[in-house]
Structure 1
Amino acid sequence: MKGIIFDIDGTLILNNQPLPNARETINDLRKLGVQLRFVTNTTGRTPKQLMTILRELGFQVDASEILTSVAACIYFLNENNYGKAGYLAIPDRIKEQFTKIKQTTKNPSFVVMGDLDKKFDYTVLNRIFNYMRNGAQLITFHRNPFFFKEGKTWLDSGAFTLALEHAGDQKAIVTGKPAAQMFQHAVQSMGLPKHEVIVIGDDVLSDILGAEQAGLQSYLVTTGKFKPEQLNEHDLEKERLLNNLYDVISMCTYEDKNKFKY
């Protein structure tokens, strides 16, 4: 194992605080020379902003190692001939990342919907719904139904994606996790073969099943969104469960661990 792809929220941090042994795990993996990537469906911050937050919490992370569903969406639009104009229903703070994407409010060929949080209202959802009825393709960053903030759970954009899919009789294109392309891009950026890379996350649907679709081995942590019943529901072996995130250190090769001073 020479590379690890980590989920961030629920795996490394929760409610803007480090989870137990998370900092030690990341920082000690650095000492072992393991390549790290961090994939997240968080859409309200850029990789540089996420890096700043993680560093303030004591994690050794570089912005170039962070892959967001926003970046995956822009890559998708550029690579899949979505050169026609679209409508962006996304937070203002990330619109600057879409400056090269053509935009319109008149008969858009696609709609990109992001995490609008409190700005998700009837007017916005109805506008997107009618664009879809007129032929626009719905493109979303992820399908997460909820997220953690301020010690509470909050509805996420994935819940509205499901509603719009049902009402608009259309399947949305999802560019973030669990899309296999996001994990594959992370592996490619490491320059490693798949069998030398693992994925670690707390969300069975986004992290674990997404990794499987990308042909990667994955491990589920018992923090964040994890629930014990998910093991049986998704037929996951107990060997793929990490009760302590630091246990990932034991997956490094014997030769690597000999170089590490505990």
Structure 2
Amino acid sequence: MMKPYTLPKGFIFDIDGTLILHGNALPGAVATVNRLKEAGFALRFVSNTTSRSAAQLAESLNRLGFTIAENEIQTSVTACLHYLSVHYPTAQGYLAVPENIRGLFSFVSINEDKPEFVIMGDLDNDFNYALLNKVFNFIRNGAQLIVFHRNPWYFSEGKTWLDSGAFTLALESATERRAVVTGKPSPVLFNSAIASMKLDSKQVVVIGDDVSTDIAGARNIGLNAMLVGSGKFKPDDLIKYDISEAHFLPQLADLLTLLNLKA
């Protein structure tokens, strides 16, 4: 396997589909991440999940054998909080987010009639027509829809499930207004991760399994990226998205070989 670029100083890893799948660590993932940390690489872990906080994600990953600190995890939720503090510091909004992260938005002044923005997250079974119709009319009346991602589906419990991104796309189509996205592939999440690493973007490589969020998001802001053959990966992705051999990892553990590191 040829080296795709000069030796990086940091890596940004997607979590679901890259490190874990269906709640279990993928083969070689724990050893790869822990060995990179031992070797002194700066690591960050990014996720579009809105159902768990960074602390909860760190706890679940560490139970699987990873050594990951809460402050090494960046989520679409943490990126959204930063976005609101900059663009809507005093505005009134409406929250359509899971109960377990609602407390993170305690600073938001709630307006049930004419909000200036709507935050919509992964509500799963709590999505229903009444809620979607309410959000639809808020947007029609001028509210800005802010979402964590546009993922149309996800893995869970060994199955595939419709994700909140599917409802985002429907609302955008119905209202003819684009949502603000704070998670992948938006630059907001990647830039936040790089800033926390205190590295130049040219020193960082993004690794993920989803070409539409991980790889496309990295490419959009000029970051080096490598696609891993797990999770959402499909062989057709290599041709469709022009992924060269040098930018493809059949297994995550191949990264150690590429870097001349022993597990």
Normalising by structure 1, we get a TM-score of 0.95
The runs of 4+ residues in structure 1 deviating greater than 6 Å are: none
Q: CA deviation at 1:83?
A: 2.4
| Identical columns (%) | 50
Q: Distance in 1 between matches of 2:108 and 2:244?
A: 43
Unpaired runs of 5+ residues, structure 1, are none
Q: Distance in 1 between matches of 2:242 and 2:251?
A: 21
2:230–2:251 CA contact under 8 A, matched in 1: no
Question: Of 199, 203, 214, which aligns to 2:210?
Answer: 203
Q: CA deviation at 1:185?
A: 1.3
Q: What SS is found at the alignment partner of 1:147?
A: strand
- Matching residue's letter, 1:131: F
Q: Distance in 1 between matches of 2:72 and 2:209?
A: 19
Residue of structure 2 equivalent to 1:67: 74
Q: Distance in 1 between matches of 2:195 and 2:257?
A: 24
Residue of structure 2 equivalent to 1:22: 29
The reply to whether residue 246 of structure 1 matches residue 253 of structure 2 is: yes
Residue of structure 1 equivalent to 2:96: 89
Q: CA deviation at 1:251?
A: 4.2
Question: Of 146, 164, 167, which aligns to 2:171?
Answer: 164
Q: CA deviation at 1:214?
A: 2.2
CA displacement 1:35-68 (0-9 Å, x = unmatched): 1000100110111111110010000100000001
Q: CA deviation at 1:250?
A: 3.6
The reply to whether residue 33 of structure 1 matches residue 37 of structure 2 is: no
CA RMSD of aligned residues (A): 1.2
User: Which stretch of structure 1 is more off in the superposition, 78-87 or 68-77?
Assistant: 78-87
Q: CA deviation at 1:81?
A: 3.5
Residue of structure 2 equivalent to 1:174: 181
The reply to whether residue 187 of structure 1 matches residue 187 of structure 2 is: no
Q: Distance in 1 between matches of 2:141 and 2:154?
A: 31
Residue of structure 2 equivalent to 1:132: 139
Normalising by structure 2, we get a TM-score of 0.94
Aligned pair count reads 256
CA displacement 1:62-110 (0-9 Å, x = unmatched): 0000001001011001112352101000001000100112211110011
1:77–1:83 CA contact under 8 A, matched in 2: no
1:108–1:136 CA contact under 8 A, matched in 2: yes
Q: Distance in 1 between matches of 2:208 and 2:168?
A: 22
- Matching residue's letter, 1:40: S
